[in-house]
């Protein structure tokens, strides 16, 4: 019997004593529903709680499962006796940990865990390798890049987590899997808040910048949530940290610390040397891994992303040839400084995933001074927008402001570059198309969330690409 088959017989509860028999899952979107299915496959009764009404949720077969008790609607998160006879509470990433129900659960001594934590005993039972990636920016790119490297090295890989596929869903993807799978998991700070015994073999903290300050009281509280990922790592684990970002170096961990830097030498990790990314060992040995020019993606941040992915891959046994092969072939993810088209010498880039100022700064840093037509705006998540001012003054020829934060940007960027308060994305594209000249670039990198005008950053990026190809060009445009 495989490890997964054995786990399917019952749900062990390493967070306490005995077994999980009845668990509350709080939040029934993607990861919450995956957690419910994971528990039901192991015979665990579930109470599903969500503030949304049934017609706002896609419950599928779970709506008719007699082992699932649903408490839905605005009053569903009231206690209402829900904590009686429970073994644990699983919290979806979208549910803040300050909810009254969660406080009560903890006061009664119940484990309150994330969906990814729920999966960890199954990974241990399988003997899987586990790499975890977090940071304010670049998580998804590094996650996918690491998956590509490990596949090039001949590993069986599951790429999952915050990137779109819940970890619990992939644990059971191969019911009879033998040991040897590698799980590459992207984790948000929201998910890390619910970790207890989750212990990756290798983990990376890419960067820390102002983000989600609508949920956290301070940047320090947000950073502390990220750093919890490393708390239970052992001395044989690898912690990959960004030497160019002081926040990441404050991580406390028993794991070996390996750093990467685009700007300076490192004692143990990766550095740039004569155009090459070189792995440096503590005894001074150096191994060339790939050339910076091998990274086919725009933006200086993607050299940093490739460094982080390479160090994680080395921790999981990948060799230099697999690393270079995968990085050369990597084509990136949609809406991450994605080159959409070029017309009359003007290149258009979709960086809709640039949802905070630090991401936007990285995206425009590599373009020529005075060449950028920058589209900014949306819903600010509590970030200080004025940090953009020095780089905008140097890089931007013109700035186009959209969304509910347009006035905030206008105040923060006054005097840096000409500012057009256009209001909507279609007007921004029209205005930028009229102003941009050959040799310049138009970049959508909003430094904000999209929820004021769009469903999500993907929707915003899709609309931008359609506008570029139709309204500016009158056709599908010249694909770059």
Which bin fits 347, alpha (ψ -120 to 50), beta or left (φ > 0)? Answer: beta
Quote the DSSP letter at residue 449: B
Sheet containing strand 338-343, strands side by side: 338-343, 346-350, 441-444, 372-377, 396-402, 419-423
Q: Are 238 and 315 in contact (CB under 8 A)?
A: yes
Q: What is the Cα–Cα distance from 54 to 77, expressed in whole angstroms? A: 14
Burial status of residue 69 (CB atoms within 10 A of its CB: 0-12, 13-18, 19 or more): middle
**C-alpha angle with apex 188: 192 to 349, nearest 5 degrees?**
170
Q: Which residues contact 358 (CB under 8 A, 6 or more apart)?
A: 136, 137, 207, 209, 210, 211, 387
Query: Do residues 280 and 270 lie in contact, with contact meaning Cβ atoms separated by under 8 Å?
Result: yes
- 3-state SS class at 379: strand
Q: Which helix (H) or strand (E) holds 338?
A: strand 338-343
For residue 91, the SS3 value is strand
Counting Cα atoms < 13 Å in the Cβ hemisphere of 412 gives: 22
List, by residue number, the catalytic residues.
Answer: 139, 162, 212
Q: How many CB atoms lie within 10 A of CB 453?
A: 17
Give the residues across from 448 on adjacent strands: none
Burial of 263 (0-12, 13-18, 19+ CB in 10 A): exposed
Tell me phi and psi for residue 397, to 5 degrees: -90, -30
Q: Please return the burial class of 279, using the count of CB atoms within 10 Å of its CB with bins 0-12, 13-18 and 19+.
A: buried
């Amino acid at each position: 019997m495989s490890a997964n088959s054995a786990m399917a017989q019952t749900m062990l509860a390493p967070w306490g004593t005995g077994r999980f028999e009845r668990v509350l899952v709080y939040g029934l979107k993607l990861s919450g529903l995956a957690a419910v299915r994971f528990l039901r496959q192991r015979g665990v009764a579930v109470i599903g709680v969500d503030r949304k009404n049934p017609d706002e949720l896609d419950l599928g077969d779970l709506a008719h499962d007699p082992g699932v008790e649903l408490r839905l609607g605005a009053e569903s998160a009231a206690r209402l006796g829900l904590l009686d006879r429970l073994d644990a509470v699983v919290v979806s990433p979208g549910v803040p940990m300050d909810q009254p129900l969660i406080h009560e659960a903890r006061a009664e001594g119940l484990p309150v865990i994330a969906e990814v934590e729920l999966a960890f005993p199954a990974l241990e039972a399988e003997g899987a390798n586990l790499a975890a990636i977090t940071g304010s920016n670049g998580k998804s790119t590094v996650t996918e890049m690491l998956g590509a490297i490990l596949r090039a090295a001949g590993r069986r890989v599951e790429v999952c987590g915050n990137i779109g596929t819940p970890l619990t869903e992939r644990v059971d993807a191969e019911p009879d899997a033998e040991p040897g799978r590698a799980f590459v998991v992207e984790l948000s700070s929201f998910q890390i808040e619910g970790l207890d015994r989750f212990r990756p073999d290798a983990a990376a903290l890419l960067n820390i910048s102002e983000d989600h300050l609508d949920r956290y009281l301070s940047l320090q509280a947000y950073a502390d949530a990220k750093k919890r990922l490393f708390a239970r790592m052992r001395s044989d684990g690898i912690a990959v940290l960004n030497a160019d970002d002081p926040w990441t170096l404050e991580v406390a961990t028993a794991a070996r610390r390996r750093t990467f830097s685009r700007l300076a030498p490192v004692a143990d990790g990766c550095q740039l040397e004569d155009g090459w990314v070189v792995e440096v060992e503590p005894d001074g040995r150096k191994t060339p891994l790939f050339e910076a020019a091998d990274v086919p993606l725009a933006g200086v941040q993607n050299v940093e992303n490739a460094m982080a992915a390479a160090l994680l891959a080395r921790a999981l046994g990948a060799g230099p040839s697999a690393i270079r092969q995968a990085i050369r072939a990597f084509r990136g993810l949609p809406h991450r400084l994605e080159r959409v088209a070029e017309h009359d010498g003007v290149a258009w880039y979709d960086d809709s995933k640039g949802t905070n100022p630090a991401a936007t700064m990285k995206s425009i840093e590599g373009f020529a001074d005075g060449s950028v037509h920058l589209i900014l705006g949306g819903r600010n998540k509590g970030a200080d927008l004025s940090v953009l001012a020095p780089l905008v003054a140097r890089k931007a020829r013109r700035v186009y402001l959209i969304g509910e934060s347009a006035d905030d940007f206008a105040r923060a960027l006054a005097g840096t570059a000409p500012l057009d308060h256009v209001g909507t994305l279609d007007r921004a594209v029209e205005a930028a198309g009229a102003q941009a000249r050959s040799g310049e670039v138009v970049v959508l990198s909003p430094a904000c969330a999209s929820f004021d005008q769009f469903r999500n950053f993907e929707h915003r990026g899709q609309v931008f690409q359609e506008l570029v190809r139709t309204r500016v060009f009158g056709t599908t445009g010249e694909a770059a």
